[in-house]
Amino acid sequence: MSEWREAVGRQPANLAAAAQAFHGAIAEVDLERLRRGTIVFAGIGASAHALVPSVLALRAAGRRAFALQATELDDPGARQLADAFVLVSQSGASAETVAALEQIDGVPMIAISAQGDSPLVRASEAWLPLGPEPDTPVATLSYTATLQALGMFCDALLGISESVWRVLPSLAEGVLEASAPPAAALAADFAGVSVLEAVGGGPGLASARETALLAREALRLPATAMETREYLHGPLEAVAKGFGAVVFGRARERALAEAMASFGARVALVSDSADADFQLPEVPPVAAAILQILPVQLLVDEVASRRGLTIGELRRHQDDTKVA
């Protein structure tokens, strides 16, 4: 078993440990200051993908909340965008996220990061930690832990009972077990695709974006991620034999998956509906993306093995994406 596959399997335990750490940290945060006005969430890469479910949940509850790329805050007008900021970086040293600190100085800022001594955390008003497990170079544990931390923060802000977080580790374990056989079965077809499309609505947009990133980093495939309704307005035209697609959602996504398959694509539907290739338990939308990405991680591992790839260190290292 590869190091990456082992890390995928450790996620249920990491989620449980991360939730415990979150409880201790959130008790120290003055949430009253954050329960009014506009909140902007920002990050880069996988951290930015993870913002989507919680921002949607806050909006559904009547809060003004927005998800931005960290680069959008590197502007003198950034501090006018929100009454509070939540900046997310697994390392706490992502150059783009750290660069935003100067522009939002003076506005309340919460940091979500694995590293308590990082530049991001040192500049924050409060720190919400991720799980204790060190992450893999192609993210596994940190991505699901970030989704959980953001979801738990959202629920704490809204005063929602967090029953889903108590059972999430066991649900995640069940999804990994149930998804292993279909991932192995689908991998033979997906190993031959030349491009991957990832499409999802609602919280599934986070999963689509992370899937496309995994396809590029782990499988070295050209990959695109898009929101369902946006995908229907033109991009679908390119789909043909040789395409692979992972689609997240329910009725409209099921119809899209069927259409893409009819055009020659190899398609996997990830859903809590009974006819999905990867069937998931139904959970609140703020937690759905955590379970959605687990079967994709298994599929990516199986496809990498068939393509003769080892998921590990990135080949195209850039020396300006982290700060000291």
Same domain, 211 and 65: no
Residues 283-304 pLDDT 10s: 999 999 999 999 999 999 999 9
Q: What is the pLDDT of residue 218?
A: 96
CATH number (domain holding residue 107): 3.40.50.10490
- Residue 85 burial (C-beta neighbours within 10 Å; 0-12, 13-18, 19+): buried
- Same domain flag for 184 and 209: yes
When pLDDT is cut at 50, 70 and 90, the band that residue 204 belongs to is: very high
Return mean pLDDT, the chain: 94
Is pLDDT above 80 for 143? yes
107 and 13 in a common domain? yes
Residues for the chain: how many in total?
A: 324
Neighbour-count burial of 240, counting CB atoms closer than 10 A to its CB (0-12 exposed, 13-18 middle, 19+ buried): exposed
Backbone angles phi, psi at 247, to 5 degrees: -120, 135
**pLDDT over threshold 80, residue 278:** yes
Token pair of 145 as six digits: 């832990």
CB 146 within 8 A of CB 87: no
Based on the fold, state whether residues 262 and 229 are members of the same structural domain. yes
pLDDT at residue number 85 = 96
- Residues 77-106: pLDDT tens digits? 999 999 999 999 998 889 899 999 999 999
Count CB atoms within 10 A of the CB of residue 294: 28
Whether residue 136 is found in the same domain as residue 178 = no
What range does the domain containing 9 cover?
3-160
Task: Indicate the residue among 160, 182, 214 that finishes a domain.
Answer: 160
